C-alpha cells in the first residue's frame, strides 16, 4: 500500500511539531524545511487543525503547535483520516470489473488494508518521535538560519 502525499506530509508535520521548541515554526517554515509547496502543506495543516491535532497562531510570535490530542493521536487514525476508508481497488468504477459478483480478491484486499491500519492504531505520534528519532528530527529540521 502506498500512502497519499498528503498523508505522508501530515505525519511528518506532526512529527516535526512533536519535537519543536520555541519559537513555534510557521507553516511556511515547515514547508521550506520539508522542501514541499507551501500551498499543499497549508491544506494539510488546515485539516490537522480541523482534527484538533495542532493549533495555529497568526501574527507576530505565531506559528504551529502540537496539541495534547495531537501528541497522543493514533498514527492509524491519522492515516485513516487522510487516506479514507475506500477500497484498495475500484471494482465498480467507470468500467466495472466482470468478476465483481464472485471475486474473492476484493475481500482479501479489504482485510489486508484493515490489518495495515490496525497495526498502526496502537502507535502514537509521541511513540514515533521517541529517541533516537526525536534528536535526528531536530537535527534535520535546522537550516542555516536555525530551527525551522
Residues paired with residue 147 on neighbouring β-strands, in sequence order: 142
CATH of domain 5-86+97-141: 1.10.10.10
* Structural domain boundaries in the chain: 5-86+97-141
Reported as type and span, the H/E element at residue 55 is strand 54-57
pLDDT digits (tens, 9 = 90+) for 53-71: 999 988 777 789 999 999 9
**Residues 61/55, Cβ–Cβ less than 8 Å:** no
Torsion angle in degrees (nearest 10) through CA of 130, 46, 120, 87: -160
Higher pLDDT, 8 or 85: 8
81-120 confidence digits (pLDDT tens): 999 878 787 777 788 888 877 888 888 988 999 999 999 9
Amino acid at each position: 500500500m502506498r500512502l497519499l502525499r498528503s498523508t505522508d506530509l501530515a505525519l511528518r508535520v506532526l512529527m516535526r511539531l512533536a519535537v519543536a521548541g520555541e519559537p513555534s515554526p510557521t507553516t511556511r517554515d515547515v514547508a521550506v524545511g520539508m522542501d514541499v509547496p507551501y500551498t499543499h502543506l497549508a491544506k494539510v495543516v488546515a485539516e490537522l487543525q480541523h482534527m484538533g491535532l495542532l493549533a495555529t497562531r497568526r501574527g507576530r510570535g505565531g506559528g504551529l503547535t502540537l496539541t495534547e490530542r495531537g501528541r497522543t493521536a493514533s498514527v492509524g487514525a491519522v492515516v485513516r483520516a487522510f487516506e479514507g476508508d475506500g477500497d484498495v481497488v475500484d471494482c465498480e468504477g467507470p468500467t466495472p470489473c466482470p468478476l465483481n459478483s464472485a471475486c474473492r480478491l476484493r475481500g482479501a484486499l479489504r482485510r489486508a488494508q484493515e490489518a495495515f491500519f490496525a497495526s498502526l492504531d496502537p502507535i502514537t505520534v509521541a511513540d514515533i518521535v521517541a529517541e533516537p528519532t526525536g534528536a535526528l528530527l531536530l537535527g534535520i529540521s535546522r537550516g542555516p538560519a536555525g530551527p525551522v
